[in-house]
Amino acid sequence: IFKAVLFDLDGVLADSAMEHFKAWKKLADDLGIAFDIDINERLKGVSRMASLDILLEKASRSYTNAEKIQLADRKNGYYRTIIEQLSPDALLPGARDALLACRDMGLQTALASASRNAPTLIERLQISDLIDYIADAGAARHSKPAPDIFLMAAKGVSCDPQACLALDDAKAGVQSAKAAGCFVIGVGDRETLDEADAIIPNIAAFRPADYCR
């Protein structure tokens, strides 16, 4: 019954949460704001500007909108410098095989990432040829947990959302895919992703055939 698989990128196919963390940490250090890996957990799957707002919760002064845009741009510059140097080593174990398994079963593949840097990242990871469509995070009106990005991904591969499996590692991502109407596989732990239809610990455990009998 399923015709396509919609993948989140950061935390599902790529180990890029640490790269985002390094870039946010550099910005926080510039500003003299405390920032650690626990705060970073809250940024997963969250859009760039919403992430900045979380980082600025610990700031000792307020920032204007114009300043915030500059700060988000500065973080993105740091992030882009880091990802320019990534190789396929940054793929999570089993990610390439998961995409190949979809190909073998004749399933379409699409990316439903909140990251505007997704096209660059998948080039660096050398998986562009295994992904049929990349939903443009910059064109989504509302970010996760709104359904926009998963709806765009389903449309991009000409499938009803109901005919799509969706994989995401973040609570906001699971909510987004559920709201779109997909069958949602949470990648990570059951407590955080309790709204998912199924849970797998990591992408290496994804067998598309299990859902297509």
Distance CA 147, CA 20 (A): 23
Token representation of residue 39: 């705060």
Is 30 a known active-site residue? no
Is 8 a known active-site residue? yes
Q: Are 105 and 208 in contact (CB under 8 A)?
A: yes
CA atoms within a 13 Å half-sphere pointing along the CA-CB vector of 4: 27
Q: Are 81 and 26 in contact (CB under 8 A)?
A: no
Residue 9 interacting with ligand G16 (CB under 6 A): yes
Cα-Cα-Cα-Cα torsion 43, 199, 88, 150, nearest 10 degrees, comes to -60
Which residues make Cβ contacts (< 8 Å) with residue 15, sequence separation at least 6?
90, 91, 92
Residue 171 interacting with ligand G16 (CB under 6 A): no
Among 114, 157, 163, 180, binds ligand G16 (CB under 6 A): 114
Distance CA 92, CA 18 (A): 12
Residue 10 interacting with ligand G16 (CB under 6 A): yes
Q: Please, what is the minimum distance in Å from the beta carbon of residue 64 to Mg ion?
A: 30
Among 33, 116, 136, 155, binds ligand G16 (CB under 6 A): 116
Helix (H) or strand (E) segment spanning residue 184: strand 183-187
Distance CA 190, CA 132 (A): 29
Residue 127 interacting with Mg ion (CB under 5 A): no
Nearer to ligand G16, 20 or 25 (CB): 20
Q: Which residue ranges are tagged as binding site for Mg(2+)? A: 8, 10, 169
Mark the segment that binds ligand G16 (CB under 6 A) among 58-66, 114-122, 125-133, 202-210: 114-122
Distance CA 88, CA 81 (A): 16
Q: What is the DSSP letter of 138?
A: G
Residues 45-84 that bind Mg ion (CB under 5 A): 45
Q: Which residue ranges are tagged as binding site for substrate? A: 8-10, 24, 43-48, 51, 75, 113-117, 144
Residue 109 interacting with ligand G16 (CB under 6 A): no
Residue 188 interacting with Mg ion (CB under 5 A): no
Binding site for Mg ion (CB under 5 A): 8, 10-11, 45, 169-170
List interacting residues with ligand G16 (CB under 6 A).
8-11, 20, 43-48, 51, 76, 113-117, 137, 170, 173
